[in-house]
Amino acid sequence: MSESLALAVLISGSGSNLQAIIDAIENGRLDAKIKTVVCNNPQAHGLQRAAKHGLPTRVFDHRDYPDREHYDATLQQYLQSLAPDYIVLAGYMRILSPAFINAFEHRVLNIHPSLLPAYKGLDTHQRALANGETRHGVSIHLVTAELDDGPVLLQANFPIAAGDSVEDLQARGHRLEHQMYPQLLGWISEGKLNIDVNGRILYEQIPLEQPLHFNP
């Protein structure tokens, strides 16, 4: 891309993936600009992370809106005014309405703590352990109207050992997430990964098969 990748990052909690993206930008590993950090939780620690780095923030507390449609319409209007290249969901714990997703079609990215299509939704680590899985992982995908159902852009996996807890899986997953999001955004900013207007995913100069598997 001729200009830095323009991002809007949506968070709900600690903002650790936001921090990983910020660090990659400040270290020169990612040619991108975070135009806004949006949060639905006024107490989220991620807002402090953003402020520390001088990033603009906006809080849209979902409890102030009568329903999801009104909330998403407000959020949509705000983001459209900034015209980001991509909307990055980084621990954003709200399901987006079809109208919102259609407004930013093929430009909303999400990171999910499982090897999609396995374990969509919540409590992925607990469910993987309960089912006796031997491997687990992380996926980054395009967001569609169906929950955790969009095309997978990048995956990474790790082994589950005997005696592992939910916290063990969560910690391993977070380590991968913090490497994967900057890597994927870097490929997009460098033109190595392109998502066209029809949602077709085109990989260039990356000698890996689709969906890409991340090797930390």
User: Which domains are assigned to the chain?
Assistant: 5-213 (3.40.50.170)
- Residue tagged active-site, from 112, 125, 136, 178: 112
Mean pLDDT confidence for 140-168:
93
Question: Does the structure show a pLDDT above 80 at 65?
Answer: yes
- Got the DSSP string for 40-89? S-TT-HHHHHHHHTT--EEE--GGGSSSHHHHHHHHHHHHHHH--SEEEE
Mean pLDDT confidence for 37-60:
98
In 3-state terms, what secondary structure has residue 211? coil
Residue 206 confidence (pLDDT): 64
Q: Is 106 a catalytic residue?
A: no
Query: Are the CB atoms for 49 and 18 separated by under 8 Å?
Result: yes
Pairing of strands 212-213, 201-203: unpaired
> With bands split at pLDDT 50, 70 and 90, how would you rate the model's confidence at 213?
low
